[in-house]
């Protein structure tokens, strides 16, 4: 009986050792969009960039197929409607924000947006601010008195995946929206999150720029790379201890019935001697 007990204990020690070695692999199995460069998260101090194309223009330039929501701040009724016309859509909602009851106008293939009363306006290649000023001047000349035009691009978004309080798509409603702004909108990070493993996947999907961020270091916030771009994917992994805990729970569900059978067998063997 003593020999059998020692054998069981030895088996459990070996099992625990194997699970410990597998904890890193376990975290990798549960994480999304793994890259060979992910090993940098073990040593990263602040921000580390792979495939860095340099600092891009922080101000987004309007493109074909963008959806523009336009409102005259001087007149709350201007640009707000429950209906849809001229190819526009109302009540557009995304997880991180919404543009409710504000009509959105598509930018056509020619780079122009067709607006009420003033017709087509060429906005392709302009920033939100420049497009708003251009449209504001046109309305001031042709229709409205001292308009103040507010322009949003309602299709710009980033995607949060992993150990955030809320995952999904989040609108980039303002110029220069930062990583911290979006994490705040998502309600922060989970207790199981590893702050050193955050990465932003940006740009060409076949050869993306990968930005690793150590959220533990406040100096990381100074990086201009943390100004978010359209279609950024932001991924945050769980800690190794959390991954190990999940692994242990999974293994325990398998091993526990086996140990019950072994103990029962030992008990029967002891009683029948």
Question: Is residue 168 a part of any domain in this protein?
Answer: yes
| The model scores a pTM over 0.75 | no
CATH number at residue 132: 3.30.1950.10
| 219 and 106 housed in the same domain | no
Q: Does one domain contain both 204 and 71?
A: no
Query: Is there a single domain that holds both residue 204 and residue 72?
Result: no
Assess if residue 265 is contained within a domain.
Answer: no
Alpha-carbon span 262 to 256, nearest angstrom: 10
Give the domain-ending residue among 153, 172, 204: 153
Rounded Cα–Cα distance for residues 88 and 68 (Å): 9
Q: Do the beta carbons of residue 238 and residue 28 sit within 8 Å?
A: no
Count of domains forming the chain: 2
273 residues of the chain, pLDDT tens digit each: 455 555 555 555 555 555 555 555 555 666 778 888 888 888 899 999 999 988 766 688 999 999 999 988 887 666 655 433 333 333 333 333 334 456 789 999 999 999 998 999 999 999 999 999 999 999 999 888 889 999 999 999 999 999 999 999 999 988 889 999 999 999 999 999 999 999 999 998 899 999 999 999 999 999 999 999 999 999 999 988 765 665 556 655 666 676 666 676 767 767 776
Q: Which of 138, 153, 168 is the last residue of a domain?
A: 153
Residue 112 lies in a domain: yes
**93 assigned to some structural domain:** yes
Asked if the structure places residue 16 within a domain, the reply is: no
- HSE toward the beta carbon, residue 112, CA cutoff 13 A: 8
Where do we find the tokens 């279609």? 231
Q: What is the pLDDT of residue 144?
A: 85
pLDDT of residue 88: 32
- Tell me, yes or no, whether 41 and 79 share the same domain: no
Q: What per-residue confidence (pLDDT) applies to 168?
A: 96
Range of the domain at 191: 34-57+156-240
In order, the DSSP letters of 37-66 are GGGGGGT--SEEEES---PPPSSPBP-TT-
| Tokens standing for residue 7 | 């054998």
Does 123 fall in a domain?
A: yes
pLDDT score for 114? 96
CA distances from 68 to 62, 135, 155, 176 (A): 9, 12, 8, 17
């Amino acid at each position: 009986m003593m020999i059998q007990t020692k054998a069981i204990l030895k088996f459990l020690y070996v099992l625990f050792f194997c699970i410990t070695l597998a904890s890193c692999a376990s975290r990798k199995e549960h994480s999304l969009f793994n890259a060979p460069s992910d090993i940098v998260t073990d040593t990263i101090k602040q921000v580390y960039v792979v495939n860095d194309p340099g600092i891009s223009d922080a101000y987004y330039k309007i493109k074909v197929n963008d959806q523009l929501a336009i409102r005259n701040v001087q007149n709350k009724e201007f640009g707000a409607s429950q209906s849809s016309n001229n190819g526009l859509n109302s009540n557009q909602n995304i997880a991180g924000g919404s543009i409710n009851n504000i009509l959105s106008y598509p930018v056509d293939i020619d780079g122009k947006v067709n607006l009420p009363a003033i017709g087509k306006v060429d906005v392709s290649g302009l920033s939100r601010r420049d497009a708003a000023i251009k449209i504001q001047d046109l309305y001031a000349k042709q229709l409205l008195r001292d308009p103040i035009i507010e322009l949003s691009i309602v299709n710009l978004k980033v995607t949060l995946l992993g150990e955030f309080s809320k995952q999904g798509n989040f609108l980039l409603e303002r110029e220069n929206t930062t990583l911290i702004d979006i994490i705040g909108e998502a309600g922060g990070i989970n207790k199981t999150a590893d702050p050193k493993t955050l990465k932003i996947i940006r740009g060409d999907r076949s050869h993306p720029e990968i930005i690793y961020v150590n959220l533990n270091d406040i100096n990381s916030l100074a990086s201009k790379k943390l100004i978010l771009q359209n279609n950024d994917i932001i991924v945050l992994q769980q800690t190794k201890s959390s991954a190990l805990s999940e692994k242990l729970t999974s293994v325990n569900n398998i091993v526990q019935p086996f140990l019950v059978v072994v103990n029962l067998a030992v008990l029967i063997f002891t009683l029948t001697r």
